[in-house]
C-alpha cells in the first residue's frame, strides 16, 4: 500500500501546555518496510508539573525505537515489546524525579505492513477506520465512562459530556503491570481505507457523524485542519491531536 499521511496537534483554547505527542516512521529501506511496516502513534499525557508532556513524548520516542529494534517479526508482538519498554521508561523516569511522580500517558499505535494493519492501544485515545463511507471505532476506551457505555449505563453521546469522562482505567507508566489492547487479527486493507488516530481532545467535542463527514469530504491534510478547527470551535477544552493515514493500492 502507498500511504498518504498527515498529522496536526493543537494546544486548544484552555490548556497552558500541549501534553499530547505524536510520531510516525516510514522506513526508507525496502527490507525494513517489508518486515516491519510503517508505524504511527498518538499519545495523550497526564501528570502534574510537566509530567504529562514528558510522559507522552517519552512513550512516542521509546515505542518508535523499540518497535524497530525488536527481533519480533509479528507486528503485534513487536508492538507489545515496544509498549512495555515505554512503560518501563516512564516508570523509571518518574522514580528518578519526584516532580514527575504519577505521570503517565494514553497511547494508540498503528502499523501498516504491505496490505495489513495492526494496532495496539492503552487509554482513551482512539483509532478509527473509515471504509466505504462507514466509520468504525477500532479501539475501546479504557476509561470509567467507556466501561459505562459498554455496560449500557451511558450512551456514546452522554459519555462525551459526563463529568467523570477523564477518569482513565489504563495508562502507560502508572503501573508495572500493563494491559495492552491489540487487534485480534491483522486487518486486511483495501484501496481507499483511511485510519484516524486521535486524542480525546477531539472525540470529546466532535461527534462521529461530524468526523465521518469531514473524512469523506477531504484529503488527509485538510481533514486534520478541519477537525482541529471544529474541536476548537466547540470549546477546545483539551489539547487535540489528529493523525490521518490514507491507504492507496500501489
Residue-range definition of the domain harbouring residue 182: 2-248
Identify the band that residue 151 occupies on the pLDDT scale cut at 50, 70 and 90.
low
pLDDT recorded at residue 48: 65
> Model-level pTM greater than 0.95?
no
Name 246's bridge partners: 4, 194
Q: Is pLDDT at 157 greater than 80 in this prediction?
A: no
224, 9 Cβ separation under 8 angstroms: no
Mean pLDDT of 83-109: 95
Q: What is the CATH number of the domain that holds 206?
A: 3.60.40.10
pLDDT tens per residue, range 117-146: 999 999 999 999 999 999 999 998 887 666
pLDDT recorded at residue 153: 65
pLDDT recorded at residue 169: 85
Domains identified in the chain, total number: 1
Cell of 66: 523499540
> Concatenated DSSP letters for 166-196?
T-BS--BTS-SS---EE-SS-EE--TT-EEE
193, 247 Cβ separation under 8 angstroms: yes
pLDDT recorded at residue 53: 95
3-state secondary structure of 47: coil
pLDDT recorded at residue 67: 98
pLDDT recorded at residue 56: 97
CA triplet 209, 45, 129: central angle to 5 degrees?
A: 30
3-state secondary structure of 168: strand
pLDDT recorded at residue 1: 86
Amino acid at each position: 500500500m502507498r500511504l498518504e499521511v498527515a498529522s496536526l496537534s493543537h494546544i486548544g483554547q484552555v490548556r497552558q501546555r500541549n501534553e499530547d505527542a505524536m510520531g510516525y516512521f516510514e522506513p526508507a529501506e525496502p527490507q525494513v518496510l517489508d518486515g516491519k511496516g510503517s508505524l504511527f502513534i498518538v499519545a495523550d499525557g497526564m501528570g502534574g508539573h510537566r509530567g504529562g508532556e514528558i510522559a507522552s513524548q517519552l512513550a512516542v520516542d521509546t515505542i518508535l525505537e523499540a518497535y524497530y529494534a525488536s527481533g519480533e517479526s509479528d507486528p503485534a508482538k513487536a508492538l507489545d515489546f515496544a509498549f512495555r519498554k515505554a512503560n518501563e521508561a516512564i516508570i523509571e523516569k518518574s522514580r528518578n524525579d519526584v516532580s514527575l511522580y504519577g505521570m503517565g500517558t494514553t497511547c494508540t499505535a498503528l502499523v501498516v505492513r504491505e496490505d495489513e494493519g495492526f494496532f495496539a492501544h492503552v487509554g482513551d485515545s482512539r483509532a478509527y477506520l473509515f471504509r466505504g463511507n462507514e466509520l468504525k471505532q477500532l479501539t475501546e476506551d479504557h476509561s470509567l465512562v467507556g466501561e459505562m457505555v459498554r455496560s449500557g449505563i451511558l450512551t456514546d453521546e452522554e459519555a462525551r459530556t459526563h463529568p467523570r469522562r477523564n477518569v482513565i482505567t489504563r495508562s502507560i507508566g502508572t503501573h508495572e503491570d500493563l494491559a495492552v489492547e491489540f487487534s485480534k487479527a491483522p486487518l486486511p486493507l483495501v484501496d481507499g481505507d483511511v485510519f484516524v488516530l486521535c486524542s480525546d481532545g477531539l472525540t470529546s467535542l466532535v461527534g462521529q457523524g461530524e468526523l465521518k463527514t469531514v473524512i469523506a469530504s477531504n484529503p488527509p491534510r485538510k481533514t486534520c485542519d478541519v477537525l482541529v478547527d471544529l474541536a476548537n470551535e466547540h470549546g477546545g477544552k483539551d489539547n487535540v491531536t489528529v493523525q490521518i493515514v490514507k491507504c492507496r493500492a500501489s
